[in-house]
Structures are given as structure tokens and as C-alpha cells.
Structure 1
């Protein structure tokens, strides 16, 4: 019996353990931290061996294959020892993909991947396709493969998940954009992170499709350096394309072979240039899969967006509160500030991943009247923005941040939570951060 060791007892780890057990592996789960109670209960009820707050080498280094959860860096000691012993260390995406013959749609990018993946899933659901959304969102891919024999999987993929693939191959790959992110995990080398994102096309053939933002300078520069075998379908605002999607002032146009889909930009459900690109990506996938144009049009016009991504929470005393907790990097916060037209009270901060805050200075100077820092270490934020605004305050709790924002807000203002940072210093994750924000706003 082959031995599968799972490092990390979270969503992807427990999903892999369940799938591994169902496929006849001897399974052991090891987590250096504490395993959440809900996951412990799943492991116990399925008779899967586990340990927490330690990695016992004798129980790990005898594995035939190891699934490493995406949050664990390769540089940790136990992973290095596995490499030395030449034991395969893969991601959950790689492990699960071996057990399904479904059509895979993989979506990655520094920003926009959750919105695009959710939008693609929404179109396919509306078309009556047997589809499941998984990966970096909702259920783990492994759990989805185990419980749901879908015909299509729409997978949101992080760079960490792509780092651990060998044979994984999506039939349709989407790369929404690339901007510096997670550089702390890539030795502060942008090119390492770029290469990681491009791994999504590593195993594609000429029978597959690669949809990408041709206006993104990094992608435009690097696409020539990779061996792209798949059929390329660019998304662009800059020129008309024979195949792919383009947009002019009025419309988005998607062309696949001789088939054309046209829709007015003003009819798209989500506003902002970046969401127009997300809509172009989602409708290109739908066109490839020959979804009826009427269904694509309705789905592009009625999609509600994603929780924690520019989510309008409440208007109180004519002050709009917006939850953009999912903005964990500079580029995402740039989009958020760009999309707001009112005077803004900006809640920012968390775990800095090597951020270049200076890129936000023009927008902050133009729109932001107060900065509320929400993080353990705010030195860099203070250094860059301390002199730009009349009010610069530091807080250690969401309740305090929201109450301060309420005091500073005047009729017509916007309060924007768009942290540009990871959340792990004060919160469990960005969802926890966003929900705390919403709950505190509702309590005002």
C-alpha cells in the first residue's frame, strides 16, 4: 500500500487525505500548528492518522508521496529533507487531477482570479452545465473530486498551488494579470513569481487554450520567453484581435474562429476597467465552450460579484462603507482606490509582503483624506503616507478602526477597507477580516 503524507491539516490537506484514503492510500496528516476542530473531527471520523504541533520525521520521511499545503514554504526543514530523499512533494491540485477525467478550467493571476473563476462558474451554472468551483476558493479540488463527479471544474489557482504541479493540465488556462505579490516566498525575485504563474500552461498542448491579458506589461514581455503550445487568446483594450477579446469605448467583443459575441460595456454587472477584463475573460471561456450567447449576455449582466471584493456594505449618514478585504496586495488596492470617486477614509495594513506603497501615492494624494492603519507593524505605511493626509491613525482592532472611520466620515465620503496586505497578524484570514469589518459597520 502506498503511503501518502499530507503536510498541513487545513482545507486542502484534509481534502487530499479523504481522497487519498478513498483511493487506497495509507494516509498520515501532520501539521506544525494546531488543526482546527472541524478538520480534526473529519479526520477522526474517517479513521485517518494525524498529529499537530509537530512534524515527526520517522512518520513523514517514509512516504511514497507528500502533499504539501500551499501555505508551507519550500524552505522549511522537513520539506528540504523530503527533497534530499527525493520523495515527490506535490500540491493538492496535482494529486486530485490524477483522479478526474473532467474538463479543467484553470484560472490564475495576481488579481481578478476569484472574480473571474466565480463568474465563469456562474455562466456555466446558468447554462445548465454540470460544473464545480474549487481550488483556492470554496472546497478544495481534492474534496470536490471525491464528492462530485462534475463534467467541468473551474479552478482558482494560486502561485503556491502551481509550484507543486507536475502533470496537471487545464484544457483552458486563464492568466488575468501579473503584478508583484508574495515576493517574500520567492526570494524577493519577481521573475520567480512570474515563472510560477506561467506554470499553468506547462503541460498544455495545441488542443488547449490560453487566455491572457495582453495589456499587462509583464505578461506581454514574458509570453515570448515561454513555450506556449496552446492556442493563444489575448484580452486587450488596445487593438482589434482576430481571436480573443477586445474592448472599445462602447463594447466588448469576443471572437473565437468565426463566432463573435458583442456586449455593451455599460450592461456589464461589475464596473471598473479591471472588471471589464474579468468579464472579457469569463465570456471568452463561455464562447470556447459554446454556451448560448443569450445566456452569456444575461450572466455578464446579472453577476453579483464576490464577497470581500469591493463589496458595498452599508450607507450610514450618506457615507458608503466598502469591504475590499480581499485586496492583499498593492495592485488590488490600486484598483479599489481608482474605482472610488468620493473623498475616502482608507483602512490599510497587515502583514507586508514586500509592498511598494509608493505606487499608490498619486491616488492617495487625489482621493484619500484619512489613513487608518490596521496592523501590528505600520512603519512603512507611515513612512510613505504619513505626510499626505491630515489624519493618520494607528489601530490594533477592527472595531476601533471602524469607529474611528465613522467619526471622521462626512456626508458623501467613502470608508474603504482595502488593506494591500495579508491578514495573519490580527485575523485568521482575509474573510475573517472582511466579516469583522461588516459586523462592526452594522453595529454602528
Structure 2
């Protein structure tokens, strides 16, 4: 029998991981990237004798595929993708492809914000007692881990773009942290399309599977009322008591599953802020489902210090605290950041706008922000929204310049916060690059 031809569009982490797994499972594999492939990935492809091309897509080598795995960064509207669809070639995401080759218990986490923190925290708790991998949008590719590690459990951080290309993918435990308008540029500026996309995480679940979600999020609650899912529901809430699921009472998180309850104090949580109580609830619910001991969950919550580029304290210089929240790539993430500021703040904001509505930030800006530094190629929308609210609003095109200006504007006791509310691709490689440049500029002051 002829080998099945697997074509992979995009030679990044997920693409190369899929190529390795595909080859090991007997596919004829071809990797094609419209841009340059990073040296480290090229070396892997060459070492494993996998055919590849860069800076072009050779149609004759792609349209004859039996199966295509496309990188989550490639939108549907790309002509090549449309052609493949017209020819009826199945297109899947890495998580769809890889999940077929594992019997592991999968925990899938999606949401507009909090998914990296929740995934990292869930993994941090589970790994104390279980063998568990962390993959998806984070760390090493899922496909590669299945090939090399073959863990019995995986925590997957999953973006809406990855969910757009699933067919049968089904996590045993799914989490939706929250849904706020994000990436609308990829969903024809229709919020509905984006919500539908997020809920695909539960579309193949049965009664034997679990959906953990924020019961305080009106978008999620409303959607579930109109589009019931098969999954067993485990809501978490700061305000409502849930018979099944998690809620907050007298500074305690109480989690109940099938009449079996555990409780934990929130006083000793290493992460601050209301949104982190929610992240802790979601992660602890997973741990409780997978029978992790209460003591282990408590200790893990107390010693988990968060992820890089998410409200990360960098340095204090002349009694000014510099905070890196580069991971805030949408308005809602920046909302949490500004909400948690307890001192006058010089705010560095801007980048590639994804159809942002800044209105929900206005009260915080009026109350806490003393100066705004716009860091983007096009800052017009920021200027229109905020120039009447602060005395000082300055445009800049480089991180080092932005940090130097912030240093001049900030006084003893102030915060300097990088929380861009936008994507980073106009001036930086990605949000990590933006965060690292910020930290470097602060250290060079």
C-alpha cells in the first residue's frame, strides 16, 4: 500500500513536532513554510531526513496530500488553504493529528486570558503525583512529546486557532477560563465566530468528560444556555455557590465533585489578584478530579510563582517598580493588570491592534494612570482614546526609548507597567521578545 502523504504548512514548533511524529508513524512527510525556517528547526528536519522547503509553497507538492497539518498562524483566507478545502483534502491542527497517537488523559485549556497561567499551574500541581506533559501553545510540541516521552497525562494550552482545525479531538477534562473579544481580525470581526471556536473544545465530549468554566462570565453562561453540551459541567465562581464545581466563601476555595468536597485558603496563594483565584480554582478542580491529595494541591498553590511576561516584577529602581506584562495581548488582559495596580502608574501600551475596544479600561486609566507611552507603528487609536485622560501621552517606536521616557516620568513609589493590550508583531518577533527587550532595557537604566 502506498504511504499516506502528510503535508505540513509551517516549519515552527508544532510543524516540526508533527513532522517527526508523522514520519515515525509511517507517513511520507513534506514540510513547507512561506517564511524562513529557524536554523534549530531546519537542523532537526535535515537530521531526520524529512523533505522541506522555505520561503515558498510549491503547489504540486502540496495539493497531492492525503492530509494537511497547518500551523495555527495561517488563516483560512490564504489561497492555498482555500484550494485544499475545494479539493476536499482534510486539514487538521497539530493537536488533532497528535491526539490520535496517544491513549493519555488529556486536559485541554482554552480562553481569551489566563490559559497559560492556568495550564502552567495545573501542570505544576499534577506533576507532584502524576507523570504529565505540558504542551499545545506552550513548551515543546504535543506531537513531539507523544513521540519522545509518551506521558500518560497531558495538560494542553489550546488557542482558538488550534481548535478551528479539530475533527475528533476530545479532552477528558476541558477548561474555558473566560471569553472576551480577541483575535476578531481572524473571525471576520464577528464575536460569535470566536465564541463558537472556543466551545469546540467541548464539542466531542460526552457525559463521561468534564467541562470546567467561569460561571461569572456572562458570555460563557449565555452560550451554554443556548447551546447545551454533553459534558458534565463543573463551574467555578467568586460569587455563586456551586453544588458541583468550585466557589469562594470566607477566603476559602471550596471544590465539590460528586459530594466529595475539599477546601483551601486563598490567603496563602502565591499569585495575587481575583483572576488568579479563578485560575487556582480551575487548576485545583482538575487536580481534585484526578485524585491529587488535598495537601499536595495546597502546597502547589502556595509555591507557584506564575509565568514569565505575566505581571512579572522585574526590578525596583529609585523606589519605582518595573512590571513586565507583555503577555497582555488583548484589552481584557490589560484590564486585570491595571486593576491590580496599587500605585500611580506609567503605562506602556500599544502594538498591533486586533479590533480593540478600550472602553472598559477608562475607569482605571482615570484613576491610576499618570502617563501613557504608546509603543507601536500606528498609535492613532490610542491617542484618540486616551489623550484627554492623562496629562502626558507620548509616542515611541522602540522599547529602549519607551523605558527611558518612563524612567524620566516615574517618581518614587510609582509603577512602570508594560501591558500592551495588543499583539507584538509590528515591532517585535512575539510577546516574549517584547517582554525580554523590556527587561533588558530596564536593567540597562
Match of 1:423 in 2: 424
Match of 1:228 in 2: 229
Distance apart, 1:37 and its partner CA: 1.3
Choose the corresponding residue for 1:104, options 103, 106, 122.
Answer: 106
1:309 aligns with 2:320: no
1:277-288 equivalence runs, <5 A: 277-288=278-289
Match of 1:358 in 2: 359
Partner Cα separation in structure 2 for residue 142 and residue 290 of structure 1: 26
1:372 aligns with 2:358: no
The range that moved more, 157-166 or 246-255, is 246-255
Choose the corresponding residue for 2:58, options 40, 51, 56.
Answer: 56
Match of 1:392 in 2: 393
Query: Between Structure 1 and Structure 2, how many residues are aligned?
Result: 443
Partner Cα separation in structure 2 for residue 293 and residue 67 of structure 1: 40
Match of 2:119 in 1: 117
Match of 1:7 in 2: 9
Match of 1:28 in 2: 30
Match of 2:133 in 1: 132
Superimposed CA distance per residue, residues 360-401 of structure 1 (whole angstroms, 9 cap, x where no aligned partner): 111101100010111100000000011211111111111111
Superimposed CA distance per residue, residues 212-236 of structure 1 (whole angstroms, 9 cap, x where no aligned partner): 0010010010012223111100001
1:40 aligns with 2:42: yes
Q: Which runs of 4+ in 1 moved over 6 A?
A: none
Partner Cα separation in structure 2 for residue 120 and residue 303 of structure 1: 10
Structure 2, unaligned stretches of length 5 or more? none
Partner Cα separation in structure 2 for residue 370 and residue 239 of structure 1: 38
Partner Cα separation in structure 2 for residue 385 and residue 144 of structure 1: 45
Distance apart, 1:249 and its partner CA: 4.0
| Matched position secondary structure for 1:312 | strand
Match of 2:209 in 1: 208
Match of 1:337 in 2: 338
* Aligned alpha-carbon RMSD (Å): 0.8
Partner Cα separation in structure 2 for residue 183 and residue 406 of structure 1: 34
1:191 aligns with 2:192: yes
Match of 2:436 in 1: 435
Partner Cα separation in structure 2 for residue 171 and residue 200 of structure 1: 10
Choose the corresponding residue for 2:18, options 16, 19, 43.
Answer: 16
Partner Cα separation in structure 1 for residue 399 and residue 10 of structure 2: 28
| Matched position secondary structure for 1:126 | coil
The range that moved more, 267-276 or 102-111, is 267-276
Match of 2:85 in 1: 83
Superimposed CA distance per residue, residues 168-222 of structure 1 (whole angstroms, 9 cap, x where no aligned partner): 1100000000000000000000000000000000110111111000100100100
| Matched position secondary structure for 1:179 | coil
| Matched position secondary structure for 2:280 | helix
1:320-331 equivalence runs, <5 A: 320-331=321-332
The range that moved more, 98-107 or 247-256, is 247-256
Match of 1:95 in 2: 97
Partner Cα separation in structure 2 for residue 143 and residue 239 of structure 1: 41
Partner Cα separation in structure 1 for residue 49 and residue 377 of structure 2: 40
Partner Cα separation in structure 2 for residue 122 and residue 323 of structure 1: 22
Partner Cα separation in structure 2 for residue 47 and residue 383 of structure 1: 53
Partner Cα separation in structure 2 for residue 52 and residue 227 of structure 1: 44
Partner Cα separation in structure 1 for residue 4 and residue 225 of structure 2: 41
Match of 1:174 in 2: 175
Partner Cα separation in structure 2 for residue 372 and residue 21 of structure 1: 49
TM-score by length of 2: 0.99
| Matched position secondary structure for 1:327 | coil
1:318 aligns with 2:340: no
Partner Cα separation in structure 2 for residue 118 and residue 209 of structure 1: 19
Partner Cα separation in structure 1 for residue 289 and residue 358 of structure 2: 39
Distance apart, 1:117 and its partner CA: 0.4
| Matched position secondary structure for 2:371 | strand
Distance apart, 1:239 and its partner CA: 2.0
Partner Cα separation in structure 2 for residue 5 and residue 231 of structure 1: 37
Match of 2:276 in 1: 275
| Matched position secondary structure for 2:364 | helix
Superimposed CA distance per residue, residues 279-322 of structure 1 (whole angstroms, 9 cap, x where no aligned partner): 00011000001100000010111111010000111111110000
Match of 2:72 in 1: 70
Partner Cα separation in structure 1 for residue 409 and residue 297 of structure 2: 43
Structure 1, unaligned stretches of length 5 or more? none
Distance apart, 1:252 and its partner CA: 1.0
Superimposed CA distance per residue, residues 136-165 of structure 1 (whole angstroms, 9 cap, x where no aligned partner): 001111111111110100000000000000
